[in-house]
Structure 1
Amino acid sequence: MDSKIIQNLVDSARQAQQNSHSPYSNFKVGAAVLGANGKIYAGCNVENAAYPLGQCAEATAIGNMITSGTQSIKAVVIASPNDAACYPCGGCRQKIAEFASDDVPVYMSTRSGSLQKVSVGELLPFAFRDSSLAG
């Protein structure tokens, strides 16, 4: 993946992170996905006083992509609020796998600027996909 595209994804995730609504955890996360159309879609986590009703940054970014009419992810960046990599939760791994093939890169960006890269397949081996529904 082109380093300029990766940097644009990181910048978009960091910008979205600034808008995080996380008054309960104070754990501000941003995410950006590169759609198959070449556009970047960003999102932040949105917490709720009724904890299970919150939304992760990855889910917000994916929702923005789907709203635009794009159905396929080519790359993902998740921006951590600290110097530890912030891997997607199990639910977000499944959401990413719905729209991305196993070889799609997922980058975790830390506050200090380091990047860790894994693939969707490494994050969620044996993913449940639409093909799993076929008899």
Structure 2
Amino acid sequence: MSTDELFAAAKAAMERAYAPYSRFPVGAAIRTDTGAVYAGCNIENASYPEGWCAETTALGHMVMAGGGRVCEIAVVAEKMPRIMPCGGCRQRLSEFTTADAKLHLCDTEGVVETVPFSSIFPRAFDLESRA
């Protein structure tokens, strides 16, 4: 699967977002080191902001399918080009990313910029920091 196909999976997920409160649909797709792709959208509820993010949904799909190491992430929002994962999702993603994982920042047409995941979250909590 190419980067364009990973973007397409994120965009398709965004189109399924349940965002009646914020009206801010987001989609994410992650690719593991085995080539498997998992996508997710944000899902809100009446106790806004107690919903969950697109990246969280994608990670949930990955974990339920048996886990893996994330090597690529694509994130897209209908109303914000180059959307970044929120702080909580950066930590969640860091639990599963490879050292050289790439983050693709997208607009609704495709990938706008690609950055190393480590550049947006260089000092994540990890098992060693909890010892």
TM-score normalized by the length of structure 2: 0.93
The corresponding residue for 2:6 is 9
AA matched with 2:40 = G
* Contact kept? 2:7, 2:111, Cα under 8 Å: no
AA matched with 1:93 = R
- 2-structure distance, mates of 1:22, 1:49: 10
- 1-structure distance, mates of 2:3, 2:111: 12
- 1-structure distance, mates of 2:80, 2:111: 8
Deviation at 1:84, TM superposition (A): 2.1
Identify unmatched segments of 5+ residues in structure 2. Answer: none
Structure 1, residues 60-115: CA drift from partner, whole Å, max 9, x if none?
00110111002310100001213521100000000110001342100011024342
- 2-structure distance, mates of 1:128, 1:57: 21
- 1-structure distance, mates of 2:110, 2:32: 23
| RMSD (CA atoms) | 1.4
Residue 23 in 1 paired to residue 24 in 2? no
TM-score normalized by the length of structure 1: 0.90
- In the alignment of these two chains, the number of paired residues is 131
Bigger share in helix? 1
The corresponding residue for 1:52 is 49
Bigger share in strand? 2
Q: Which moved more, 1:124-133 or 1:10-19?
A: 124-133
1:86 alignment partner, SS class: coil
The corresponding residue for 2:125 is 128
AA matched with 2:43 = V
- 2-structure distance, mates of 1:101, 1:91: 18
